[in-house]
Amino acid sequence: MDDRYLELDFYPFGSRCLSLSLPMSRGTDIWLLQRWLNRVSSLQGSWYLEPVPEDGVLNNRVLQGIRRLAKYLMLWQPWQICDISYSIFGQLSGRFLSAGNAFGARPLVPGDEGHDVWVLQNRLVGANRRLALILGRVPDGIYDLRTARMVRVFQRESQPLFPRLRVTGHVFADTFLAVWDRTIFGGRELQVGDRGLDVLSLQELLLAMGYPVELSGIFDTQLKQALSVWQRERGLPVTGRFTALEYWRLGLERGY
The DSSP result for 196-248, as a single string, is: SHHHHHHHHHHHHTT------SB--HHHHHHHHHHHHHTT----S-B-HHHHH
Of 132, 79, 122, residue with least CA distance to 255? 132
Extents of the domains making up the chain: 3-96, 197-240
User: What's at 141, amino acid-wise?
Assistant: G
Cβ neighbour number for residue 54 with a 10 Å cutoff? 18
Q: Which stretch of DSSP H or E encloses residue 71?
A: helix 60-72
Q: What pLDDT does 20 receive?
A: 87
Question: How do residues 186-232 score in pLDDT, each as one tens digit?
Answer: 999 999 999 999 999 999 999 999 999 999 999 999 999 999 999 99
Question: How do residues 116-136 score in pLDDT, each as one tens digit?
Answer: 999 999 999 999 999 999 999
Q: What pLDDT does 6 receive?
A: 75
Please state the rounded mean pLDDT for residues 238-246: 96
Residue 1 clears pLDDT 70, i.e. is over it: no
Please state the rounded mean pLDDT for residues 138-163: 97
Q: What pLDDT does 7 receive?
A: 82
Who's near 78: CB < 8 A, 6+ residues apart? Answer: 84
**Fold for domain 3-96?**
Muramoyl-pentapeptide Carboxypeptidase; domain 1 (1.10.101)
For the entire predicted model, the pTM comes to 0.95
